[in-house]
């Protein structure tokens, strides 16, 4: 069973059977999804979680928690910009802490 208090290092869950089950089911996939989300963000000028999900062809319900985990880990940051998401609400535009273009220029 997923560790409720291990979030964001492992998928979190609310005190419901279905929530714990969902966290257990995503636990093995979460690191891969986080890496995919981060790669998309690193090669962008900032994206909302909905935009990341769209680029990856994934459900926002799988992506949004991974973005939160990346933010908690200090790999992405709130850019201060807001854009409207699919539901018409203002959403954070997430920016990578280390964009790919900066990693390339320092690797030379």
3-class state of residue 106 by DSSP? helix
Alpha helices in the chain (DSSP H): 17-26, 30-42, 49-56, 60-72, 100-106
Q: State pLDDT tens for residues 10-58.
A: 666 556 677 677 677 777 889 999 999 999 999 999 999 999 999 999 9
3-class state of residue 58 by DSSP? coil
The correct CATH number of 17-106 out of 1.10.10.10, 3.40.50.720, 3.50.30.20, 3.10.129.10 is 1.10.10.10
For residue 106, count CB atoms less than 10 angstroms from its CB and return exposed for 0-12, middle for 13-18, buried for 19 or more.
Answer: exposed
pLDDT of residue 90: 98
């Amino acid at each position: 069973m997923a560790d409720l208090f291990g979030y964001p290092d492992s998928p979190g869950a609310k005190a419901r059977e279905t929530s714990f089950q969902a966290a257990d089911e995503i636990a093995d996939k979460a690191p891969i999804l986080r890496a995919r989300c981060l790669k998309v963000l690193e090669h962008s000028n900032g994206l909302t979680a909905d935009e990341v999900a769209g680029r990856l062809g994934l459900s926002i319900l799988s992506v949004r928690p991974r973005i939160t985990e990346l933010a908690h880990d200090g790999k992405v940051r709130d850019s201060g910009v807001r854009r409207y998401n699919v539901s018409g609400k203002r959403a954070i535009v997430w920016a990578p802490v280390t964009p790919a273009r900066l990693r390339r220029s320092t690797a030379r």
